[in-house]
Amino acid sequence: MGNHIAALNTRTGHATAWNSNANADVLTLAVSGRTVYAGGEFSLVGSMTRDNIAALDTRTGRTTAWNPGANGAVDALAVSGPTRARSPAASGPAEPIWTRFEFGIIGAW
């Protein structure tokens, strides 16, 4: 089982061998197809540098090449088709498109 993030067998509830090892807290997850998007307060996932946001392969737990970076903690993620959204505190090198909803602001990229 990994640090700060793990996969559980849906039949037994036991941790699987999936091991992504984030070096700090993972605060949110979103799943789309074979990808798990993780947001939090980490700087390393697996052996790869990822600033607070990462994408992981659902089968292997390996960090993917996707690396948008975020300069603050990511505490919310959503996935809808080809669009991913993150919390407003986290902005990265590419300027996100900001959209206001009743519950707050999210960035989409």
Domains in the chain: boundaries: 26-108
54: alpha, beta or left, given left = phi > 0 and alpha = psi -120 to 50?
A: beta
Say yes or no to pLDDT of 93 above 80: no
- Cβ pair 65, 29 in contact under 8 A: no
Task: Give the residue, 62 or 101, on which the prediction is more confident.
Answer: 62
Q: Tell me the average pLDDT of the chain.
A: 77
Strand-strand pairing, 77-80 and 44-45: unpaired
Q: Which of 4-13, 88-97, 99-108 has the lowest mean pLDDT?
A: 99-108
Q: What stretches of the chain adopt beta strand conformation (E)?
A: 26-32, 35-40, 44-45, 48-49, 53-57, 77-80, 83-86, 97-101, 104-108
Lowest mean pLDDT among 7-11, 21-25, 64-68: 7-11
CA 9 – CA 64 distance, rounded (Å): 22
